Amino acid sequence: MQLLTVSPSPHIRSSMSTQKIMGLVILALLPAMISSVIVFGIRALLLIVFCTAVCVLSEFVCQKLMKKETTVQDGSAALTGVLLALNLPATLPLWEAAIGCIFAIAVVKQLFGGLGCNFANPAITGRVFLLLSFAGDMTTWVKPFYYKGLSFGEMLSSNGNNAIDALTSATPLASGDAGLLDLFIGNVGGCIGETSALALLVGGIFLIAMGIISASTPIAYLGSLGVLSLLHTLISGGEMSSVLYTLLSGGVMLGAFFMATDYVTTPITTKGKIIFGIGCGILTFVIREFASMPEGCSFSILLMNLLTPYIDRFTMTKPVGAKVQEKGEN
């Protein structure tokens, strides 16, 4: 007879764990990663692997320096790395990418207390940081399949290479000249992971089906952005297809399914998630239409991250059987 364990109930736990959740999200990003490698070549793979490694290493070093328990095995740093890489243009120099990764993990995540304590999405903040710091490199887009005819070394290299410079094109969001089908399957320029709406949709639906993310956020986000752009089209008298163009181009798909659904930095209740999604949709529309920047997805999610504590406060659940406050509304 061994010693009996005495512990409070419940005595069974579900099989879901933080590690499994992070793993499933990375798995859901696999179609986007594959399409990025197909469209932008070996350089995309290099960026993904490099960013993931730098993020994991940064987390490890931070925790060692702060004498905290090492938690890189939970997969959250790896996920940040993958997400950040998918938000970068194919030709970004590796040292710049590394700075983005270190900023995301060390400053945005670990300085605020690590997983669960950061108020802003590390990958998004890392991207915005890079965009402000290296505006040129971060907005240099290569055409799809630019790597055809290049040698292996040229494929791996970044800017400074004349052959690539000649191939740069504006992102379709800025130029507005891509076909809808090309946008849907990803045959356009842009950040490596955000071009194929199809691949992102497959991953997003997988996450919803697995119960990892709530469908309410992407529906509210894409829905509100769609409605606003429809209204805009009706008022300005443009073509109806521009609504689809808005939804499929830029980082909206990646943002709606993978960034605006981050547990830590978005509201906890379904009502809160809907408000968050609508807020992202409105901000994205406003930035795209009225601001000087072509893309507003990252900024809109980052701004809504800041509002999350307030949304949480106003979307508390009403417990069953709770007495209604005398002066409160029902």
Partner 1 sequence: MKRLGGVKLSHHKNTENCSSQKLPVPEKVRIPMSMHIGAPCSPVVKIKDIVQVGQKIGDTDAFMAVPIHSGVSGTVTAISDYRMSNGRTCKMVEITTDGEQSVSPEVKVPEVTDKDSFLKAIRQSGLVGMGGASFPACVKLAPKQSVDTLCINAAECEPYITSDYRQMVEAPDEVIDGVRQVMKWLSIKQCIIGIESNKPEAIRILKEKASSYPEIKISVLPCTYPQGAEKVLIYNTLGRIVMEGQLPADQGVIVMNVSSVAFVSRYLKTGMPMVQRMLTVDGDAIKNPCNVIVPMGTPVADVLNFAECEIDKVKKLLYGGPMMGMSIQDINDPVLKANNAILAMKKSQSPKSSACIHCGRCIQACPLDLMPPQICKAYEGKDVEALQKLKVMLCMNCGCCTYVCPAKRPVAETNQFAKAMVMASAKK
Smaller CB separation from partner 1, 28 or 199: 28
Sign (positive/negative) of CA torsion 117, 119, 124, 128?
Answer: negative
Helical packing angle, 76-86 and 122-133, nearest 10°: 40
Shortest CB 26 distance to partner 1, Å: 15
- Shortest distance, position 15 Cβ to partner 1, whole Å: 9
Closer of 71 and 161 to partner 1 (Cβ): 71
CB of residue 199 vs partner 1: minimum separation in angstroms? 25
**Whole-number minimum distance, CB 30 to partner 1, in Å?**
21
Query: Shortest distance, CB of residue 61 to partner 1, whole angstroms?
Result: 19
* DSSP letter for each residue of 39-78: HHTHHHHHHHHHHHHHHHHHHHHHHHHTT----GGGSHHH
Q: Which is nearer to partner 1, 4 or 166 (CB)?
A: 4
CB burial of residue 132 (10 Å; 0-12, 13-18, 19+): exposed
Report DSSP letters for 164-230, one per residue: HHTTEE--HHHH----HHHHHHT-S-SBTTTS-HHHHHHHHHHHHHTTSS-THHHHHHHHHHHHHHH
Are the beta carbons of 198 and 39 closer than 8 angstroms? no
* Whether the Cβ atoms of residue 104 and residue 250 lie closer than 8 Å to each other: no
Six token digits for residue 65:
């320096």
**Largest alpha-carbon pair distance within the chain?**
81
The least CB distance from residue 105 to partner 1, in Å, is 15
Q: What is the dihedral of CA 94, 126, 77, 259, to 10 degrees?
A: -120
Minimum distance from CB of 309 to partner 1 (Å)?
Answer: 11
Q: HSE on the CB side for 43, CA within 13 Å? A: 30
* Between 74 and 194, CB nearer to partner 1: 74
Binding interface with partner 1 (CB under 8 A): 1-2, 4-14, 16-18, 20-21, 71, 74, 114-117, 263-264, 268-269, 316-323
CB of 22 to partner 1, least distance (A): 9
Q: Which residues contact 183 (CB under 8 A, 6 or more apart)?
A: 172, 195, 197, 245, 248, 249
Residues linked to residue 142 through DSSP beta bridges, in sequence order: 168
The single residue listed with the structure tokens 């419940």 is: 10
